[in-house]
Structure 1
Amino acid sequence: MITTTRVRQHTTHNLDLAVPALVACDIDGTLLSTGQLPTAAVRSAVERVRAAGHHVVLATGRSLVGALDAALKLGLDDAWIVASNGAVTAHLVGGEYEVTDRHTINPEPVVRVAVDAMPGIRVGVEVVGVGYRVNIPFPDGELNGVQQSVDAIRELWADPTPRLAIYGPAAFGLVPVLRAMGLTAIATRPDWVDVTPPALSKATALDKVRRRLGVEYEATAAIGDGENDVEMLRWATRSIVMGHAPAHVRAVADRATGTIDDDGAAAALLWLLG
């Protein structure tokens, strides 16, 4: 997985308030618990960072429709969003959004590998801004947006997609074969694998947003908690990991904050402000 060729300089310094910075934040497990609203403390901290002149950019594995919902709940009415683990980038302004970058793959090979290897496994193929086509409905809360059940499996690959979600017991076992196909495959849980185009991550998309905003690389920060945040945490000049993150994710960050139950993201954002 490619992030950036720039040599990362770790630092423990707070943000320079005189220079606009890019603060990349994961959503689920970081800014909010899945299925719940962000706390007042997190919303306040996000607003304070924005009021100081910095850019809060959401960087998530969620589909765009789910990321947009979170952005509005966080009070972000003018924000950049990196969705689908870097495959989709959008600019949200005043309740409307524009997709500025989209990378897609042909879903057919992924679908065939998954259903042949694990009969009964659920596969969701993202439809940007809408939801997913699914072979078997996912449980409530597992996918964002509308689920469209297909009548024939071939309907899953009717159109290119930025992301597929594979859900079922031991789904993580598909990761090696999917990576051997040249795809980006991340097991966010033992029963869940996200599949996106080659050489993509949150970091690759964030670096494009950084350049578009005119933010210096040294003025970047990231907060996350999961496997799909590792490249983003390595990319950022200042990286903060949530206290409940797995050990291997904590190992790549500069510092740790509290858990999601402790409003760790709020503490991290306020720490960045000094």
Structure 2
Amino acid sequence: MIMARSASTSDTENPPLPTPLTDAPRLVASDIDGTLLVTGQLPAVSVIEAVAAVRDAGHHFALATGRSLSGALTAARELGLTDGWLVASNGAVTARLAGGSYTVLETRDVDAEAAIRLATRIRPDMRIAVEIVGIGYHVSEHFPVRALNGDQVKVGRLSDLWVGPTPRVVVYGQDAQRLVPALRAAGLTAIATRVDWVDITVGSVSKATAVERLRRDLNIPAERTVSIGDAENDIELLQWAWRGVAMGHATAQVQDAADEVTGTVGEDGAAAVLDALRSAAMP
């Protein structure tokens, strides 16, 4: 119930964007973890069916996640998605999924050297990972099993972490969240997803900025946008959408950024939102 408040790689060439349908399709952007599924668990059947029904109704569906592209692809498979859009790494990577294969449309690379030097100067005990799009991570030390999506390759020197471009740097260790103010002061986007985990991307990039570009490319009117999320990195996404829906277990700060609140992830709250779209119950 919604409550209103007061794959494998594809060719390098980008395929043409689909022509928008004449019956004004929506662009629906949804977070993954804590929204469509509980982290580490498979999505509920009701969520899988609701996602499929929304797409069958002609709407555009985008997964918008803090996960790497590898992690977003895993979730897409679990949700039965073979076509759609993947906004990964908190908006730093955008890909198109078609026929089970993907094409990277855009990456926004972060200054990994500046981020890592700053983080390790303040906290030299932190473990560092840099994302290699679609593959995994280069790491200063191995992270716990399943903490990162994709392969982990340990480098010999810290400077090896910034040899190539990367859209995201991960800092992991006790009280890593204390690094956030310094990283933000340096013009970086820093999000503490847990007290011991900080995601760092280029400044001014978010899920919302990436999905907005999709909206423009697809020629979807702003009033035909919907988003669903549950965490701090969803706040801008919820504010971006014409109808932003927060999960019932989200913090007050996240719920305040939304237009509506649905059930918790345990109550399959996202399925209720998607079912409302399918049945045209959502204006």
**TM-score when normalising by structure 2:** 0.89
What's the counterpart of residue 128 of structure 1? 133
Question: Once the two structures are superposed, what CA deviation does each residue of 1:124-153 show, in whole Å capped at 9, x if it has no partner?
Answer: 100001011111111122211001111111
What's the counterpart of residue 71 of structure 2? 66
Counterpart selection for 1:144 from 137, 143, 149 = 149
Output the amino acid matched with 1:244. H
What's the counterpart of residue 274 of structure 2? 269
**TM-score when normalising by structure 1:** 0.91
The SS at the match of 1:233 is: helix
Aligned-pair Cα RMSD in Å: 1.3
Question: Once the two structures are superposed, what CA deviation does each residue of 1:206-230 show, in whole Å capped at 9, x if it has no partner?
Answer: 0111111121111000000001000
Identical-pair percentage: 55
In structure 2, the gaps of 5 or more residues are 5-21
Question: Once the two structures are superposed, what CA deviation does each residue of 1:197-256 show, in whole Å capped at 9, x if it has no partner?
Answer: 111110100011111112111100000000100000000000111111111001111111
In structure 1, the gaps of 5 or more residues are 1-11
Structure 2 residue 114 is the aligned partner of structure 1 residue 109: yes
Output the amino acid matched with 1:216. P
Moved more, 48-57 or 17-26: 17-26
User: d(CA) in 2 for partners of 1:164 and 1:270?
Assistant: 36
- Contact between 1:87 and 1:205, CA under 8 Å: does it hold in 2? yes
The SS at the match of 1:188 is: strand
Structure 2 residue 179 is the aligned partner of structure 1 residue 174: yes
What's the counterpart of residue 5 of structure 1? none
User: d(CA) in 2 for partners of 1:136 and 1:263?
Assistant: 37
Shift of 1:33: 1.2
Pairs within 5 Å for 1:229-240: 229-240=234-245
Shift of 1:90: 0.3
- Contact between 2:93 and 2:106, CA under 8 Å: does it hold in 1? yes
- Contact between 2:86 and 2:95, CA under 8 Å: does it hold in 1? yes
Question: Once the two structures are superposed, what CA deviation does each residue of 1:37-85 show, in whole Å capped at 9, x if it has no partner?
Answer: 1110100010111111111110001111110111121111111111111
- Contact between 1:35 and 1:141, CA under 8 Å: does it hold in 2? no
- Contact between 2:111 and 2:202, CA under 8 Å: does it hold in 1? no
The SS at the match of 1:166 is: strand
Counterpart selection for 1:159 from 160, 164, 176 = 164
- Contact between 1:60 and 1:85, CA under 8 Å: does it hold in 2? yes
Counterpart selection for 2:90 from 72, 82, 85 = 85
- Contact between 2:119 and 2:183, CA under 8 Å: does it hold in 1? no
Q: Runs of at least 4 residues of structure 1 off by over 2 A? A: none
Structure 2 residue 88 is the aligned partner of structure 1 residue 95: no
User: d(CA) in 1 for partners of 2:40 and 2:134?
Assistant: 19
User: d(CA) in 1 for partners of 2:250 and 2:145?
Assistant: 24
